[in-house]
Amino acid sequence: MKKWIVIIPFTLFFLISCATPSRQARQNEAEAHFKLAISHLERGQMQAAFVELQKSIELAPRNKMAHNALGIVYRYFENTEKAEEAFKTAISIDPQYSEAYNNLGVVYMRTSQWDKAIKAFRKALANLQYPTPETAFTNLGKVYYRKGEIDKSIRAFKKAIKRSPGYNAPYYGLALCYNALARYGDASEALTEAIKLDSLFKGDREKAEKELIRQKLKALDINEEQDYVNLLEILRY
């Protein structure tokens, strides 16, 4: 009887020691696939990123960042339903995950679900530890601009600038808002600042004009196309 008392603990120890490395190996493999996916994302290799994210999530289904990245890939491929699902999954894992709320808001913004977009961006901003609130504030400004609520749009863009003075995107938004209010001098100043801060242009207005024309031709919808038309008009003030 005493022999069994000795044998059983050693057997359990053996089983536990075998199981732990297996779980750790799965976690390590999941992390490797995730890192590779992010590398593909940064290079714009969306299909390769999608494959790696699927592998990562299969091994570690509770990785909120993997689900968020998967949503970005789905959004790139214009599969808004799947993108929404992926971002919501990330949020279900971490209800304070601001990046996923912001990305979910972009899905709603692109499908003209303005009120849902506003709610998502405000959820992102409710987390005081959100490292890049200027992104959500800028997106919030875009939604209010689309709704024709220009004063609210201006306030959102200014809050984005306050959080990150070197961030060029809200200055483009301000230029459009001031243009809509016929404040042409303010619009010109805002656009000049945007072009100066934009690493693509570094103040080169001629280069900016060529890029704005190119982006106009690539516009996703008539509203986006009109934005580029307006920016080109402001550029000539």
Enclosing domain of residue 81 = 18-94
User: What is the tally of structural domains in the chain?
Assistant: 1
Give long-range contacts, CB 8 A cutoff, 24+ apart: 101-105.
101/136, 102/135, 102/136, 102/139, 103/68, 103/71, 103/72, 103/75, 104/71, 105/136, 105/139, 105/140, 105/143
Q: Is 46 a member of any domain?
A: yes
pTM: predicted TM-score of the whole model, two decimal places: 0.87
**CATH code of the domain covering residue 66:** 1.25.40.10
Instruction: Give residue-wise pLDDT tens across range 177-217.
Output: 999 999 999 999 999 999 999 999 999 999 999 999 999 99
Q: Is residue 43 part of a domain?
A: yes
State the pLDDT at residue 22: 86
For residue 12, the model assigns a pLDDT of: 39
The answer to the question of residue 3 being in a domain is no
Give the number of C-alpha atoms closer than 13 A to the C-alpha of residue 71, restricted to the C-beta side.
26
Tens of each residue's pLDDT in the chain, 237 residues: 444 333 334 443 333 444 455 888 889 999 999 999 999 999 999 999 999 999 999 999 999 999 999 999 999 999 999 999 999 999 999 999 999 999 999 999 999 999 999 999 999 999 999 999 999 999 999 999 999 999 999 999 999 999 999 999 999 999 999 999 999 999 999 999 999 999 999 999 999 999 999 999 999 889 999 999 999 999 998
Residue 65 lies in a domain: yes
Is 160 part of any domain?
no
Domain membership of residue 181 (yes or no) is no
Work out the mean pLDDT of the chain and round it to a whole number: 91
83 occurs within a structural domain: yes
Whether 10 is covered by a domain: the verdict is no
Given a contact cutoff of 8 angstroms between Cβ atoms, the answer to whether 143 and 109 are in contact is yes
Say what the pLDDT of residue 23 is.
85
Question: CB count, 10 Å around CB of 117?
Answer: 25
